Chain A
Amino acid sequence: MALRVDNLTKTYGDTTALSEVSFEVPDGKFAVVLGRSGAGKSTLLRILNGLTEPTSGSVYLDGEAVTNSRSDVGMVFQQHNLVEELSAYDNALTGTLNRTGFVRSLFNRQPVDDRELALEALDTVGLLDESGQKVSSMSGGQQQRVGIARALVQQPALLLADEPVASLDPSSAETVMEYLRETAETRNLTTLASLHQVNIAREYGEQFVGLKEGDVVFDGPREELTAAVLEDIYGYIETDELREGAESTDMNESIQKTDEGLETEP
């Protein structure tokens, strides 16, 4: 579904996290939110998922105002936020909680369709054989793929990913991003990811929204994302590293560089 964000504002006391943010993402597009730490990326995604209430403004999916967004929106977190004590399958199954009664969910009595959905989602992220494995014994990359599966089981209208690969090593990051893109493409799922590694963002994103101190400073396709634009988004300090990252052809090398530059991301 097409996403439209309209004049979204969020203030915490005197601090403005987002000020009148507006942009649109067409149906099925893979959009990336860029910005430095504290630019408002996480706040934006949390509002879209209903985890944070906006001070003002609205969000529309296919022209309809979103009210109960948590069920309609799947979210992938930087720290995975999985239940580590449960298996990959049980974690994927928590994606059905919003349509399962409390007692049914307590005894894992989800309908067969939902249970098949969970296995399909795990298959989509290449973890069907690991379904029974406990999440705590999985690698960071595998855990994040379980996170994607959980979001898919929700059958969301919109998929959000808040720094999905920030805490992963370069090769796991690449795998996770591949699965994320493949999922979004095959299911025609509108996706919005916040990423601070510019080179990864350029490789996977189709549309880019640049945030700076709560304002949208850029909104456009890959071709328009020039070094000058990045300089505007990120400011001077990391510009050299980022420009190198943006132009580098060796992905892994540049991920490390940008990682070093922006390690302070919370």
Chain B
Amino acid sequence: MSADSDSLFERLLPPSLDGSNGESAIEQQHAELKRNRLLRRLSQSALLVCIGILLLWSLQMAGFWKEEWIQYWPEFTEALTQYFPPALYFDLIPFVDVGRYYQFWVEEGLVGEAGITLAIALAGTIVGAPLALLFGILGNERVTPFPFNFLFRGVMSIIRSIPSLVWALIYVPLGGISPVTATLAIGTDTIGELGRLLTDELEEIDDGPIEGIRSTGASKPQVITFGMITQIVRPFIAWAMFILENNVRSAVGLGIIGAGGLGVTLSIEQQTFKFTNMMATILFIVVLVLSVEMISQRTRSYLRGDDDEEQLSLYELIVGFPERMSKSLLK
């Protein structure tokens, strides 16, 4: 059977059907392997074509084939020079004018605004986390018999399907969009997100300690506390830190719709076309979020007992950086 003289269709037919019975076992196996490889390539190409069509369709839906946005391109490049105002350092080195950012940080008291954003995220997380633990536990089949545990899982699913921005809108009648409603929104969101993660953690705990505690004649709440919760304390703290990270970002987003903190500054500067100030605020948000992320990651890696980079002290992290970079470049 010579492949180049056969049509594609014939090459796709199983060998037993295309009259090659006289071939040796090795030749048959070879033909079969070739056929499989061809099939795999065809299906891979088909998949790529599908993804391509999906991309074109979604770009179309998003309005990318209209020409207006291209016309605005010069405005965007103009804005870029305001986002990153250039300056000459020592009359020699051109770079972004960091001084103007710093000036805005000080004048507007961004540290205080960041405090409000952080407070919203922290309060929301601390209020939501115990409730998430409660819902996560009640959603476990060992605690609440099937199908009643799905009542709690369902509540968490519904909470999750509503973004925290929308939760803030729901809480608006409680006094408009304010840090209070933002905190409530983030707390609610935390129940759904963290509760879901804890449900997964609870699925994977050992039966041993639960049985051990049961065998002592402990009551059901005691079995849950000592047999189950003790096993998820570390994952609970770790996930709560992760959720706190997300909540700081959400709190910035809620600020944009007026809930206070850095988000408010951001939207004011944007609406008054003070793009340099806006970028200064964004950079401050980056600093805030990265700080929270670093603390959160270090806490989590400590809880995991990892022996990796994340456990280095801040000093080692900075001083040892060139060495570690050269090492990873040489790898």
List A residues at the B interface (Cβ < 8 Å). 49, 51, 68, 70-75, 77, 79-86, 94-95, 97-98, 102, 105-106, 147, 150, 154
Contacts and interface: CB of A to CB of B under 8 A. Distances in A.
Given A97-B222, A97-B226, A102-B222, A82 B217 contact: no
Contacts of A73: 215
Nearest to B234: A85
A56 B53 CA distance: 67
A151 to B, nearest CB: 8
B130 interface: no
Contacts of A68: 217
B35 interface: no
Contact of B225 (A72, A98, A106): A106
Q: Please provide the 7 A-B residue pairs with the shortest distance between their CB atoms, ordered closest to farther.
A: A81-B212, A71-B217, A98-B217, A97-B218, A70-B217, A81-B208, A75-B215
Contact of B209 (A81, A105, A106): A81
A70 B211 CA distance: 11
18 contacts: A71-B217, A74-B215, A80-B208, A81-B209, A83-B212, A83-B213, A83-B230, A84-B209, A85-B230, A85-B233, A94-B213, A94-B226, A95-B216, A97-B226, A102-B222, A105-B225, A106-B225, A154-B217
Given A75-B212, A81-B212, A97-B217, 6 more contacts: A68-B217, A77-B212, A86-B226, A94-B218, A97-B216, A154-B216
A51 B222 contact: no
B128 to A, nearest CB: 21
B214 A70 contact: yes
A68 B209 CA distance: 20
A160 to B, nearest CB: 9
Interface in B199-253: 208-209, 211-219, 221-222, 225-227, 230-231, 233-234
B216 A81 contact: no
Given A82-B209, A97-B222, A51 B216 contact: no
Among B217, B225, B227, B234, find the residue whose CB has the most chain A CB atoms closer than 10 A. Answer: B217
Contacts of A81: 208-209, 211-212, 215
A87 to B, nearest CB: 11
Contacts of A80: 208, 212
A94 B209 CA distance: 11
A86 B234 CA distance: 12
Contacts of A72: 217
A82 B212 contact: yes
Interface residues on B, range: 20 to 34
A62 B211 CA distance: 26
Contacts of B219: 97-98, 102
Contacts, number: 77
Contacts of B213: 83, 94, 97
A150 B211 CA distance: 13
A73 B208 CA distance: 18
Contacts of A51: 211, 214-215
A248 to B, nearest CB: 33
A86 B230 contact: yes
Contacts of B218: 94, 97-98, 105
A77 B234 CA distance: 25
Contacts of B216: 70-71, 74, 94-95, 97-98, 150, 154
Among B215, B225, B231, B233, find the residue whose CB has the most chain A CB atoms closer than 10 A. Answer: B215
B211 A83 contact: no
A77 B225 CA distance: 20
Nearest to B212: A81
Contacts of A106: 225
A76 B243 CA distance: 40
A148 to B, nearest CB: 12
A106 B229 CA distance: 11
Nearest to A97: B218
B212 A150 contact: yes
Contacts of B222: 97, 102, 105
A157 to B, nearest CB: 12
B304 to A, nearest CB: 14
Interface string B34-74: 00000000000000000000000000000000000000000
Contacts of A150: 212, 216
Contacts of B226: 83, 86, 94, 97, 105
Contacts of B208: 77, 79-82
B237 to A, nearest CB: 12
A94 B217 CA distance: 10
Nearest to A81: B212
A72 B217 CA distance: 8
A4 B234 CA distance: 44
Contacts of A74: 215-216
A194 to B, nearest CB: 15
A90 B225 CA distance: 13
Interface in B91-141: none
A152 B227 CA distance: 19
Contacts of B233: 85
B114 to A, nearest CB: 36
A180 to B, nearest CB: 16
Among B211, B212, B234, find the residue whose CB has the most chain A CB atoms closer than 10 A. Answer: B212
